[in-house]
Structures are given as C-alpha cells and as structure tokens.
Structure 1
Amino acid sequence: MQKKLATITLSLTCAFLGLGANLALAIPTPNQQGDYPSPVQKQRGARHVNWQVVDSDPKGLNCRMSRQFQGVSVDGSDVPAEFYIRNKYNISQWSVVFAFKRGQRLQAVTGNMDNHITLTDQQGKPWIAVYTSKGHCFVRANSNFIKPI
C-alpha cells in the first residue's frame, strides 16, 4: 500500500512539474523591439489572456477601434473577412474608444480556437484585441505598454 501511494505521489508530482513547465512556456516574451509577436500559425491555445498596463502615460493606454468596425464583435462569426487582412490598417490612427490606466488589468479577446485575436498594422506592429465595458478594441502588443500576468 505504501509503495502504491509513493508511486501515485511521484506521478502527480511529475504531472504537476510538467504542467508548470507548459505554463512557463505559455507566457509571451517580447522580441528585441519589445513586441509580443502574433502567433505565426493559428494553433489551439496560442494565446495569453491576462495582461496588465505598464504604460507610463498619465492619460492612459489608448485602446483603438476603426469607426468602420465599432460595434462589431471581433470574436464573432459576422466579422468581415477584410478585418483580418495583415498590414492593411494604420491602427494607430483609429479612434480612441477607451483608455486604460497604469496597473489596470486587461483581458485579451480569444476566438473559437482559443487563439488571442491580433492584428498587424501597416508597419508590421502587433495589436491585441481586449475587452472593455464599451466592447472590443485594440492595444499595442508591446512591453512598453502591456505585460503578461
């Protein structure tokens, strides 16, 4: 009985350590420019949901959405295909629909395959969709503005 209990304990410990390693790998790390790159391939679970604002701007971190797409649920099936065209938009010029304060927590919007929803702007910079009380909008996915938590 004691040997069986030791085996179960060892199995659970190994499973826990393996899970811990997977969680550590899931935390996004920025590239040399500070950007949190969009997943190259849309793989199930290629996401990180919880973020925190680190932007030092006293006005807060701007969350932007195109007037054309305001009111559209970016994780819905009714999103126009043109919305996801890479490098098409100058997102930094979109309307500011919300501003997050430093230290505020953000929740990334995920799609039906558990991938976080990102866009890449005309300069190749990644933007991540987040929830607000006013709907979805995009913040720069850069370590100067947000960090994973």
Structure 2
Amino acid sequence: MKKITILKGTFILFFSLSLVQVLASEVPQPDENGDYLNVLHDLWVVTDTDPNGVNCRMPLGCTFQTIMNRECTGFTANYLEYPIVGTLQYGEIFRSYSSNRGQTFIDRRKLPWVFVGENLDGSTEGCFIRANIQFTRPTLGRYD
C-alpha cells in the first residue's frame, strides 16, 4: 500500500510540474534583445510605465483589412514613421491580429511590431506598437 501511495504522490507531483511548464510555455518569450520575433499570440499587455503611455502608430487612411489586402498605399513597413494615432497605458491588455504570415509584423530594420486590434477597455485600437519587452509582451489574459 505504501508503494502505491508513494507512486501516486510522485505521479501527481510530476504531472503538476509538467502542467506548469506547459502553461508557462504558452506565453512566448523574447529574444536576447527583448524582441518578440515571429510570434503568434492573441493577448498582449503593455509593460511600459511611462505616464504618457506607449505610442500606437498607423498609416493615415489605412485599416488592418486594407493592409492585409495590400490596398493601403501608405503602408511601407516604416512603422516608426507612421503618425501616432493613440496611446496605451501600463497594464492595458489588448487583442492582436497577426500578419499574413501569422506572426508579428517586421519593419525595414528587422524589428517586430504587434497590431493592436482590440483594446479590451475599448479605447485605442487599430494601430501598431513595438513588440519588445520594454513596451509590451504576450500574456494569458492578465498582468502575470
């Protein structure tokens, strides 16, 4: 009986640790520069504590749909040069939409950006912010 109890406890411990590892692996990790390159993840949280917020940029007259359909004449992959159309504050969670390749968007400097498709509080949406740990990171739906 004691052997069965020990094996049962060992199995539960092993299974619990495995589950924690699986859950932790659901959130993509940044590279050595803090960038989220080639990342496909739905929910992101703003990490920048600047009281002015994180700038969110978008070419004028463009929407996510026109960019994806390649109908946006102002879309040049120079994200840093796009006008600021809003800001996001520390701790805000947003739903992103991925590029046609199913991942973060890459600018001409080879730096990743994430599209803010829907801010969960209903404010800023429809723009890009840098996919870097200084500004934002993937989340499971809370600031974890």
| TM category, shorter | 0.5 to 0.7
8 Å contact from structure 1 (residues 28, 48) kept in 2: no
Is 2:126 the counterpart of 1:136? yes
8 Å contact from structure 1 (residues 119, 126) kept in 2: yes
Closer, same or farther in 2 for the Cα pair 1:144/1:50, shift >3 Å?
closer
8 Å contact from structure 1 (residues 52, 105) kept in 2: yes
- In the alignment of these two chains, the number of paired residues is 129
Of the candidates 85, 94, 111, which is equivalent to residue 107 of structure 1? Answer: 94
* Aligned-residue offset at 1:136: 2.1
- TM-align CA RMSD: 3.3
Of the candidates 48, 51, 62, which is equivalent to residue 45 of structure 2? Answer: 51
Q: Report the counterpart of residue 97 of structure 1 in structure 2.
A: 85
Percent same amino acid among aligned pairs?
24
Q: Report the counterpart of residue 110 of structure 2 in structure 1.
A: 124
What is the identity, as a one-letter code, of the residue corresponding to 1:106?
A: I
Give the unaligned 5+ runs of structure 2.
139-143
TM-score after normalising by structure 1: 0.64
* Aligned-residue offset at 1:7: 8.6
Give the unaligned 5+ runs of structure 1.
40-45
What is the identity, as a one-letter code, of the residue corresponding to 1:21?
A: Q
Name the SS for the 1:122 alignment partner: coil
TM-score after normalising by structure 2: 0.65
